[in-house]
Amino acid sequence: MELKEKAGALLKIAALNEGAKEYILNNPELFKLLLKAAKRYIGGEKMEEALATAKRINDKGLPTSLEFMGESTRSVEESELVTQHFLDLINKVKEEKINSIVSLDLSHIGLAIDKDLAYNNLVLLAESAHKKDIEIVISAEGVDRTDDIINTYCKISPDFSNVGITLQAYLNRTPKDLERVLNETQGKIRIVKGAFAVPPGHAVERGKHLDDLYINYIETLFLKNRRCSIATHHNKIQNRVKELIEQYDVPKSKYEFEMLLGIQEDLLNETYKEGYSCRQYIVYGDEWYLYMCNRIAENPDNLFQAMVDIMS
């Protein structure tokens, strides 16, 4: 393992260290420095900041996805507050005529407390979003929650075509999950590579085999005429997917290249200028520490950029 890869792996471990996180976030000087690095990857700490970021991106012609990030809620009251926040976000997106979908973690609206609680909260959001012609996409989480996430999605999808799901290409279980989702649901399917730590034997390591799996999943979605999101920054994968789009004459309404704020934005802009359907993913909120660490760790070169941001 190269030095940069080791640095990325260590950063992921540090991100999960609650003691380190608490120390950094409660130290005014360290907090200020790290927030400078985080601002590259987040739309702001407040909803208003994220909406302004989305408008700026819309002005360039790109639609967005907005996610209020946060850790698993641990009480019914907290899950209700978060659900209300998402309801407010949906209302604001409609009122301010922002071209955006909404993404969320089911654990953020109560999945870690009770499956029915999360489902009921999701129904509230789906109903509100449906009335406003806004799409919701359920984000991926750790493999220990995948069953509950898939089950919840399959339960709600027959009533709400505006709700989509995220599947992780690196999980060994994904072929069966994809087959089930294709048979039982109707919403958009977002494919990500997957970045959560998993027990041995549960996932494919990064490399050519995973890249091929990812491309095969997208090709399956094209052949099934299913709306999908190609959520990757991998240039070679994108180029192969573009070939498939031309091969199958896939209409722009059936796919989108979805990329994260602050990561390879030149690639997103280039893809958009080439005439492909694109979307920029914006997260916001004050729980940015883990998200920032993971973004930097995914590509160790981002560590150097973070140092530049901190020193600027």
What's the CATH number where 170 sits? 3.20.20.220
Whole-angstrom distance between the N-terminal and C-terminal Cα of the chain? Answer: 30
Amino acid 55: pLDDT:
99
Distance CA 201, CA 267 (A): 33
Strand 189-192 versus strand 64-68 pairing type:
unpaired
pLDDT of 298 over the 70 cut: no
Helix/strand/coil for 190: strand
Amino acid 288: pLDDT:
75
Amino acid 51: pLDDT:
99
Q: What pLDDT digit, counting tens, does each position of 186-203 carry? A: 999 999 999 777 888 999
Average pLDDT, the chain: 89
Q: Give the domain range for residue 191.
A: 42-287
pLDDT of 294 over the 70 cut: no
The answer as to whether 109 is a domain residue is yes
Tell me the range of 17-26, 136-145, 291-300 where mean pLDDT is highest: 136-145
pLDDT of 1 over the 70 cut: no
pLDDT of 16 over the 60 cut: no
83 neighbors 73 (Cβ within 8 angstroms)? no
The answer as to whether 312 is a domain residue is no
pLDDT of 10 over the 90 cut: no
The answer as to whether 234 is a domain residue is yes
The answer as to whether 297 is a domain residue is no
Binding residues for FAD: 168, 193-195, 232-233
pLDDT of 292 over the 90 cut: no
Continuous segment of H or E residues that includes residue 307: helix 301-311
Q: What pLDDT digit, counting tens, does each position of 53-68 carry? A: 999 999 999 999 999 9
Amino acid 6: pLDDT:
56
Helix/strand/coil for 80: helix
Amino acid 70: pLDDT:
83
Binding residues: 168, 193-195, 232-233
- Domain count across the chain: 1
Tokens 């909406």, located at residue = 51
At 296, the pLDDT band (50, 70, 90 cuts) reads: low
Token pair listed for 178: 């994809």
Taking residues 144-166, report their average pLDDT: 98
Alpha helix ranges (H) inside 174-234: 174-184, 208-223
pLDDT of 291 over the 90 cut: no
Distance CA 183, CA 161 (A): 14
The answer as to whether 206 is a domain residue is yes
Q: Which of 71, 70, 197 is nearest to 142 (CA)?
A: 197
The answer as to whether 207 is a domain residue is yes
For the chain, what percent of residues have pLDDT higher than 90? 72
Please give the angle made by the CA atoms of 229, 231 and 18, to the nearest 5 degrees: 130
Amino acid 37: pLDDT:
73
Q: What pLDDT digit, counting tens, does each position of 81-107 carry? A: 999 999 999 999 999 999 999 999 999
The answer as to whether 126 is a domain residue is yes
The answer as to whether 25 is a domain residue is no
Half-sphere exposure of 296 (CA within 13 A, CB side): 28
Q: What is the DSSP letter of 87?
A: H
Taking residues 251-258, report their average pLDDT: 98
pLDDT of 182 over the 80 cut: yes
